[in-house]
Amino acid sequence: MPELPDVETWRRYVDATSLHHRIGRIDIDAPRMLQGVSRQTLRARLQGDAFESTTRHGKHLFLRLESGPWLMLHFGMTGRLNYFKDPDGVPSHTRLLIHFDNGFHLACVWRRRLGRIGLVDDPASFVREERLGPDAYEPGIELAEFKAMLHGRRGSVKSALMNQRFLAGIGNIYSDEILFQARLHPRSRCQRLDSQELAVLHRAIGHVLRIAIERQADPERLPQSWLLVNRRERGECPRCGAPLAHMAIAGRTAYYCPDCQREQQ
């Protein structure tokens, strides 16, 4: 499932390929994925316009049109982008296809139709309306603010990290890596984390997201010392070699090392 590092990689991909080209025809194959806009309106607003900039919040990507509004993309569980020239090379499962006047095309691909496509006037207003938490990679979240955000919060730290209204952008995969780097059991209770554990967790969030973005969220380029490299049935801890364990938390499967990430007593 695409998480913050994946979406940031797609944002930079759009910046490098799709800005300042006049938009021609728009093909929409998944009207049920449209949020707050009809197929006709989306087509009318995009055709003849051009993308001038991008921004991101959590797992949402925003592409600003020269005329003012922003195209909003949420990648769901399987979304990705593909910029290409060959008109016969349209990827399978393309739900939104944007044709540029330079002869290239931007395909918004979802194998499963669980993403969202919309038009918004302002990303900041959209974030407030969706009640999203601060972006997990936002450098403005200082340690003191992070501690205040977790103060008195009930439930497991794994659930908190995946809660988009607490912190936007982290999902099941990267929450496992963050907790592995912080040596915290995924079932650790937020209210029982001490000041040092919170500091280590805060640092692990920034470290994991930064490295993943630098490696373009490519699993084959992630450090061999990371849990994600071995995150599977019968996988082994890259730190101590112990068999990885897994459990269900908040409806998701959490992988962890039972030796390196001891459960609170």
Please identify every residue annotated as catalytic.
Answer: 2-3, 59, 252
Report how far residue 65's alpha carbon sits from residue 45's, in angstroms, rounded to the nearest whole number.
9
How is residue 256 written in tokens?
Answer: 């962890």
Amino acid making up residue 76: G
The dihedral through the CA atoms of 230, 236, 240, 246 has a sign that is positive
The half-sphere exposure of 243 on its side-chain side, counting CA atoms within 13 A, is 4
Strands 34-35 and 116-120: parallel
Number of other CB atoms surrounding residue 19 within 10 Å? 14
Cα 70 to Cα 28, 75, 91, distances in angstroms: 17, 16, 24
